[in-house]
A and B are shown apart, each in its own frame.
Chain A
Amino acid sequence: MFSRWNWVACGFYLVLNICSPDASGGLVQSCGHIIPESPVLALGSNFTALCILNETCLDFGNIYANQIIWKIKNRVVPKEQYREINRTVSSVTFNDTSSLATPLTCNILADGQIEQNIYGITVTVGLAPEKPKNLSCIVHQMSRFTYVMNCTWNPGRHTFLDTEFRLKYSWPEEVFPDCIPKGVNNSCTINDIQFFVNTEIWVEAANALGKAESDRLVVDPVDIVKPLSPQNVSVSSGILPTVLKLSWENRISHAVMLLKFNIRYRIIGETSWMEVPSEDTASPRTSFSVQGLRPYTGYAFSIRCMKEDGVGYWSDWTEEKTGITTEDKPSKGPPIWRIIDASHSPASWTVHLMWKALKPFEANGVILQYEVTVRDKSSLSSPLKKYNVTSTNHTLQLPKGTYEVTVVARNSVGASPPSVLLIPASNSEAPVKNLRTLPKHDKLWVGWTAPNSYVLKYVIEWCLVSSSSDCIIEWQIALGDVQGVDLKGIKPFKCYLITVYPLYADGQGSGQSVKAYLKQDRPSKGPTVQTKKVGKAEAVLTWNHLTVEEQNGFIRNYTILYKTIDGNETVVTVDPSKTEYTLSSLTSDTLYTVRMMASTDNGSRTGPDFTFTTQKFGKGEIEAIVVPVCLAFLLIVLLGVLFCFNKRDLIKKHIWPIVPDPSKSNIAQWSPQVPAKHNFNSKDQMYPEGSFTDVSVVEIEADDKKSFSEQDLKPFDLLKKEKSTSEGHSSGIGGSSCMSSPRQSVSDSDEGETTQNTSSTVQYSTVVLNGYRDQTPVQVFSRSESTQPLLDSEERSEDHAGGADSTAQRQQYFRQNGGQDENNTDRPCFERAKQITHANEGDFVGFVQLQVSGQSSQPLGLGMEKNTQEAALSNVLQTCTQGQTVRPETVEENPLSVDDMPKSYLPQTVRQGGYMPQ
Chain B
Amino acid sequence: MAAADSPSAALRRRDLCSRGIRLAGKMRADVVDLLDIYVEQQGLDASASVAAVEGVPLAAVERWDEQTGTQRLLENLAAYRAFRALLAQMLEEQREQLGEADAGLGRALAAVLLQVSAFTYHLEELLRLESRGIPGEEGDGPPPPPRLSLFEQKLRGLGVLRELAQWAVRSARDLRQLAKPGSATGTAPGLAESP
Known contacts A171-B121, A174-B121, A220-B19: A196-B114 contact under CB 8 Å: no
- The CB with the most chain A CB atoms within 10 A, among B20, B115, B118, is that of B118
20 residue pairs bridging A and B, Cβ less than 8 Å apart = A145-B33, A173-B117, A174-B117, A192-B114, A194-B115, A195-B23, A195-B26, A196-B20, A196-B22, A196-B23, A196-B118, A197-B118, A220-B19, A253-B26, A255-B22, A255-B26, A255-B29, A255-B30, A256-B26, A256-B29
Nearest residue (CB) in A for B125 is A172
Evaluate whether A195 and B30 lie within 8 angstroms (CB atoms) in the complex, with A171-B118, A171-B121, A174-B117 already known: no
Chain B residues near A220 (CB-CB < 8 A):
19
A674 vs B107: C-alpha distance in the bound complex, in angstroms? Answer: 175
Q: A726 to B111: give the CA distance in the assembly, Å.
A: 188
Q: Is A65's beta carbon under 8 Å from chain B?
A: no
Question: What 9 pairs between A and B have smallest CB-CB spacing?
Answer: A196-B23, A255-B29, A197-B118, A255-B26, A196-B19, A255-B25, A194-B114, A196-B22, A173-B121
A interface: dominant SS: loop
Asked if A222 is an interface residue, CB under 8 A from chain B, the answer is yes
In the complex, what residues of A have CB within 8 A of residue B28's CB? 255
Extra contacts besides A171-B117, A196-B22, A198-B19 (6): CB < 8 Å: A145-B30, A174-B114, A174-B117, A195-B22, A255-B22, A255-B28
Closest to B15 in A: A198
Whether A192 and B110, one on each chain, are in contact in the complex, defined by CB atoms closer than 8 angstroms, is yes
CB distance from B128 to the nearest CB of A (A): 10
- Report the contact-size class of chain A (Cβ under 8 Å from the partner): 10 to 19
Q: For residue A222, which residues in chain B have a CB less than 8 angstroms away from its CB?
A: 22
List B residues 73-114 near A (Cβ within 8 Å).
107, 110-111, 114
| Complex CA–CA separation, A254 to B121 (angstroms) | 23
Shortest C-beta distance, B48 to chain A (Å), equals: 25
Do residues A196 and B26 form an inter-chain contact, with CB atoms below 8 A?
Answer: yes
Q: How many of chain B's residues touch chain A, expressed as a range? A: 20 to 34
B121 touching A172 by the CB < 8 A rule? yes
- Chain B residues closer than 8 Å to A145, beta-carbon distance: 30, 33
Give the interface centre of A172, A194, A220 by most chain B CB atoms within 10 Å: A194
Chain B contacts with A in 6-60, Cβ cutoff 8 A: 19-20, 22-23, 25-26, 28-30, 33
Q: Is B154 an interface residue (CB 8 A)?
A: no
B170 interface contact, C-beta 8 A: no
- CB-nearest residue of chain B to A197: B118
A256's nearest neighbour on chain B, judged by CB, is B26
For residue B120, which residue of chain A has the nearest CB?
A: A173
**Docked CA distance A145–B112 (Å):** 12
Q: Nearest-CB distance from B113 to chain A (Å)?
A: 10
A-B contact count, CB below 8 Å? 51
Closest to B34 in A: A145
CB distance from A311 to the nearest CB of B (A): 13
Residues on A with C-beta less than 8 A from B19 are 196-198, 220
Given the known interface contacts A192-B110, A192-B114, A255-B25, the answer about A197 and B121 at a Cβ–Cβ threshold of 8 Å is yes
Q: Mask for B115-127, Cβ within 8 A of A = 1, else 0?
A: 1011001101100
Asked if B121 contacts A194 (CB within 8 A), the reply is no
Contacts of B26 in A (CB 8 A): 195-196, 253, 255-256
B60 → A minimal CB distance (Å): 21
Assess whether B111 is in contact with A194, with CB atoms less than 8 Å apart.
Answer: yes
Q: Which residue of A lies closest to B21 (CB)?
A: A196
Whether A197 and B122, one on each chain, are in contact in the complex, defined by CB atoms closer than 8 angstroms, is: yes
Chain A residues near B107: list those with CB within 8 A.
192
Residue of B nearest to A144 (CB): B33
Report A140-175 CB contacts with B as 1/0, cut-off 8 Å: 000001000000000000000000000000011110
Chain A residues lying within 8 Å of B111, measured Cβ to Cβ, are: 192, 194
Q: Once the chains are docked, how many angstroms separate the CA of A197 from the CA of B121?
A: 9
Cβ of B74 to closest chain A Cβ, rounded Å? 18
Nearest Cβ distance between residue B20 and chain A, in whole angstroms? 7
Return A739 CB to nearest CB of chain B, in Å: 168
Tell me which residues across on chain B come within 8 A of A196, comparing CB atoms: 19-20, 22-23, 26, 118
Q: Residues of A contacting B122 with CB < 8 Å?
A: 197
Q: Which residues of A contact B125 (CB under 8 A)?
A: 172
Cα A453 to Cα B117 with chains together (Å): 88
Q: How far is the CA of A254 from the CA of B172 in the complex (A)?
A: 14
Scan A187-222; emit 1 where CB is below 8 A from any B CB, else 0. Answer: 000001011111000000000000000000000101
A194 in contact with B118 (CB, 8 Å):
yes
- Given A192-B114, A194-B114, A220-B19, CB of A253 within 8 Å of CB of B121: no
In angstroms, Cα B88 to Cα A174, docked, is 14
- The CB with the most chain B CB atoms within 10 A, among A174, A197, A222, A256, is that of A197
Q: How far is the CB of A250 from chain B (nearest CB, A)?
A: 14
Question: What is the chain A residue whose CB lies nearest that of B27?
Answer: A255
Find residues 416-431 in chain A having any chain B CB closer than 8 Å to their own CB: none
Residues from 397 to 428 in A contacting B, C-beta threshold 8 Å: none
Assembly CA distance A195 to B115 (angstroms): 8
Complex formed: what's the CA distance from A172 to B123 in Å?
13
Chain A nearest CB from B186 CB (Å) reads 25
Name the interface residues of A221-273: CB closer than 8 Å to any CB of B: 222, 253-256
CA distance A196 to B21 in the complex (A): 9
Report the bound CA distance from A192 to B122 in whole Å. 19
A483 to B190, CA, bound (A): 78
Per the bound structure, the CA–CA distance linking A816 and B83 in Å amounts to 180
- In the complex formed, the residue of A with least CB distance to B29 is A255
Which A residues, 726 to 782, have Cβ-Cβ distances below 8 Å to chain B?
none
- Among A649-669, those with CB < 8 Å from B are none
**Bound-complex Cα distance A173 to B26 (A):** 20
Set of chain B residues within 8 Å of A173, measured between Cβ atoms:
117, 121, 124
Distance of A147 from chain B, by nearest CB (Å): 10
A190 → chain B closest CB, angstroms: 12
Chain B neighbourhood of A256, CB < 8 A: 26, 29
- Chain A residues with CB under 8 A of B22: 195-196, 222, 255
Chain B hits for A254, CB < 8 A? 25, 29
Q: Give Cα distance in the complex from A298 to B22, angstroms.
A: 42
Q: For the complex, what is the distance from the CA of A256 to the CA of B115, rounded to whole Å? A: 12
